[in-house]
Amino acid sequence: MKQRLSPTMRQEHAAGDKVFVDYSGKKIPIVDRKTGEIREAEIFVAVLGASSYPFAEATWTQTLPDWIGSHVRMFRFFGGVPRLNGVRFAQSCILGRLRNQIFFSLAEANAAIGQALDRINDHVMRRLGVSRRQLFETVERPALASLPLEDYEFAEWRLARVSTDYHVEFKTFFYSVPYSLIRQQQPQNRTPFHRTNRHR
């Protein structure tokens, strides 16, 4: 009887070339200490292609601010920027280590994730005889592009018309602007607005 073979594809990744990123299909529960209410947090995971050096963190949502924030912290963790971002990573190694723990905040969850990352990155891979951290430090980190001097800061841009009392409204709050801008439409966050105590 002939043995059936599963097709496999071997991929070679150049150092500093790609990072694979995704949200885990599973979430991590966070317990409110006061109410006992459980809220599930997302797990952002990433791994560099050549060294398999991973990064992970918990965030409340998969919305754009959290997505961008996770990338900023990921690049800071790696200490550099790869040339391309890919998508896909198996989260089981990290979540498997956390499945029996209870967390009361994102900070607690991320501290435990950090410890799990250290164990994974320092474990010597039998096939290669070195750890992911050793591969990262010797092969991948030198090939990464430098980080910018300042982290990227997420911002939303919206147009707002200045009323006759030289204020613009945003999310029920009013912000004062120079009176010369009355009736003009201004992009918020680009004009030096000053928040007042007025609100609906």
Q: What is the pLDDT of residue 55?
A: 94
Determine whether domain 18-143 maps to CATH 3.40.50.720.
no
Q: Rounded distance, CA 3 to CA 9, Å?
A: 19
Where would I find the beta strands (DSSP E) of 120-199?
124-125, 130-131, 159-161, 167-170, 173-176, 185-187, 194-199
- 140-178 pLDDT, tens digit per residue, is 888 888 888 887 777 777 777 788 787 877 777 788 878
Q: For residue 168, what are the β-bridge partners?
A: 175
- 6-37 pLDDT, tens digit per residue, is 444 345 678 877 888 889 888 999 999 999 99
- 73-119 pLDDT, tens digit per residue, is 999 999 988 876 744 434 566 777 787 888 999 999 999 989 988 98
- 61-77 pLDDT, tens digit per residue, is 999 889 989 999 999 99
- Cβ neighbours for 137, distance < 8 A, ≥ 6 positions apart: none
Q: Rounded distance, CA 44 to CA 92, Å?
A: 13
Q: What is the pLDDT of residue 4?
A: 55
What residue spans define the domains of the chain?
Answer: 18-143, 159-199
